Amino acid sequence: MYTVLICDDDKDIVSALDIYLTSEGYRTLKAYDGLECLKLVEEHEVHLILLDVMMPGLDGIRTTAKLREKRNIPIILLTAKSEDSDKVLGLNIGADDYVTKPFNPIEVIARVKSQLRRYTTLGGQQHAGGPAVLTNGGIRLDDAAKAVTVDGEMVSLTPIEYNILLLLMQNPGRVYSTGQIYELVWNDPALGSENTVAVHIRHLREKLEIDPANPRYLKVVWGLGYKMEKL
């Protein structure tokens, strides 16, 4: 049974999400601020976090940053329509996805299921059939061990980052549009996906490239999308 931690200072939202998640068979933990969220993560095995951005005290953005110092648990931000800059910032520091309030609980459940599939498989089933170890230049991806190294140094990736890298490394030189990347990695329709994919690509570059501003591996093909340069 997967455990989902719901963190929002609005108790009605927490209660509603709790009802929908438990009806789908998930175990839930409830927190009402960032500090309580961090405490519960230390005390329990948590498989996914639904995290409100705007909370008193430790907000969702800073909580995400704290969580990413130690853990790669999938994080879905709960944001208001007016918080576009916070969505980008949250994705940039390691959140995996976001849902805009007011949200449809069915959409939230679908996002939870999608993230948990990627977290538990790290792309192993989604891209089955390829070689277990992929290399390109100094990047080595061992899909059996779910490990990535750059010039021999281990790199820590989130599940989303891992799956994007796996997709591109399995098809070096092939250009994927942002919509194609989103549909293949997120397994959701690609409506409005451009910014989300761009943020994750930027984050990958920061971890893989010596000079992220002049990438050697993850190239943009203007007007078309992204590709893994074959080295």
**Mean pLDDT along residues 179-185:** 87
> What is the predicted pLDDT for the residue at 194?
76
> Is 8 found in the same domain as 107?
yes
Is 80 exceeded by the pLDDT of residue 132?
no
Is 50 exceeded by the pLDDT of residue 123?
no
**Mean pLDDT along residues 66-74:** 86
Is 70 exceeded by the pLDDT of residue 94?
yes
Chain position carrying tokens 């570059």: 205
Q: What is the CATH number of the domain that holds 28?
A: 3.40.50.2300
> What is the predicted pLDDT for the residue at 125?
37
- pLDDT, the chain, mean: 87
104 is written with which tokens?
A: 């449809």
> Is 198 found in the same domain as 139?
yes
Domain boundary among 75, 95, 121: 121
Instruction: Read off the pLDDT of residues 18-58 as tens digits, 9 standing for 90 and up.
Output: 999 999 999 999 999 999 999 999 999 999 999 999 998 89
Counted domains in the chain: 2
> What is the predicted pLDDT for the residue at 105?
85
> Is 88 found in the same domain as 146?
no
Is 80 exceeded by the pLDDT of residue 156?
yes
Q: Give residue 1's pLDDT band: very low, low, confident or very high (50, 70, 90).
A: confident
Domain boundary among 73, 96, 121: 121
Instruction: Read off the pLDDT of residues 4-18 as tens digits, 9 standing for 90 and up.
Output: 999 999 999 999 999
The Cα 184–Cα 135 span in angstroms is 21
The Cα 190–Cα 216 span in angstroms is 27
The Cα 216–Cα 178 span in angstroms is 19
Amino acid 6 reads I
Domain containing 174 equals 133-228
Domain boundary among 61, 94, 121: 121
> Is 52 found in the same domain as 105?
yes
Q: Are 229 and 173 in contact (CB under 8 A)?
A: yes
> Is 71 found in the same domain as 31?
yes
